[in-house]
A and B are shown apart, each in its own frame.
Chain A
Amino acid sequence: AQSVTQPDIHITVSEGASLELRCNYSYGATPYLFWYVQSPGQGLQLLLKYFSGDTLVQGIKGFEAEFKRSQSSFNLRKPSVHWSDAAEYFCAVVVAAGNKLTFGGGTRVLVKP
């Protein structure tokens, strides 16, 4: 079945440490890939997206993601986390242009001082 999986429900990281959030997808072809961030009670903000080309994508707020076709993965990384990065992060895919986004279950990131 087609799906988007974020294996980690919660991650706790110290401020200044690096962060990596995992995302795996299961689709017949490579979908379009997105990462969104959501602060409590708020809507979703786009961090970055991948359609084609360079497999390392730079986004806002110092985030980057790497697409690995062989692993069907699109992991999100940040070299040094700030307290303001505490939020919920969602990986999402689109199978065809203009179609709906399908989201993973999310990963909640907690930042320790």
Chain B
Amino acid sequence: DTGVSQDPRHKITKRGQNVTFRCDPISEHNRLYWYRQTLGQGPEFLTYFQNEAQLEKSRLLSDRFSAERPKGSFSTLEIQRTEQGDSAMYLCASSSTDMGYTFGSGTRLTVV
């Protein structure tokens, strides 16, 4: 297993466009988490899944954000009508019951 994969690594988009990010967790991990990190800050929790069920969403996750994990494997995070304030690093992590949280390298979003 190569760990948690995120695609793309970088995304530049114009304000108002929609973007979608993908996360492939470690295969035996049943929990998957999304975080957002802005420059100089710690990661902020967005949402998490146990298998295909979305168990918690942060207040940071506005109506323009949606996340899915349709078959309990990979997950997607979509941002509609992007705004400049959405520019950040989006991190995905997965874990199993042993509390081993493994992070991907992130997707850096720049909204111009």
Query: Chain A residues in contact with chain B, CB under 8 A?
Result: 32, 34, 36, 41-46, 49, 51, 90, 92, 94, 97-98, 100-106, 108
The total number of A-B Cβ pairs within 8 Å is 53
Q: In the complex, which of the residues B33, B91, B108 contacts A100, with contact meaning CB atoms closer than 8 Å?
A: B33
Is A98 a contact partner of B50 (Cβ separation < 8 A)?
yes
Is A101 a contact partner of B41 (Cβ separation < 8 A)?
no
Query: In the complex, what residue of chain B is closest to A103 when comparing beta carbons?
Result: B42
B67 is an interface residue with CB less than 8 A from chain A: no
Size of B's binding interface in residues, CB under 8 A: 25
Is A43 a contact partner of B41 (Cβ separation < 8 A)?
no
Is A106 a contact partner of B41 (Cβ separation < 8 A)?
yes
User: Known contacts A100-B33, A103-B42, A105-B41: does B50 contact A41 (CB below 8 Å)?
Assistant: no
Query: In the complex, what residue of chain A is closest to B44 when comparing beta carbons?
Result: A103
Is A43 a contact partner of B106 (Cβ separation < 8 A)?
yes
Q: In the complex, which of the residues B50, B56, B93, B108 contacts A101, with contact meaning CB atoms closer than 8 Å?
A: B93
Bound-state Cα–Cα, A105 to B41, Å: 5
- Residues in A with CB closer than 8 Å to B95 are 98
Bound-state Cα–Cα, A108 to B31, Å: 29
B21 is an interface residue with CB less than 8 A from chain A: no
Is A97 a contact partner of B45 (Cβ separation < 8 A)?
no
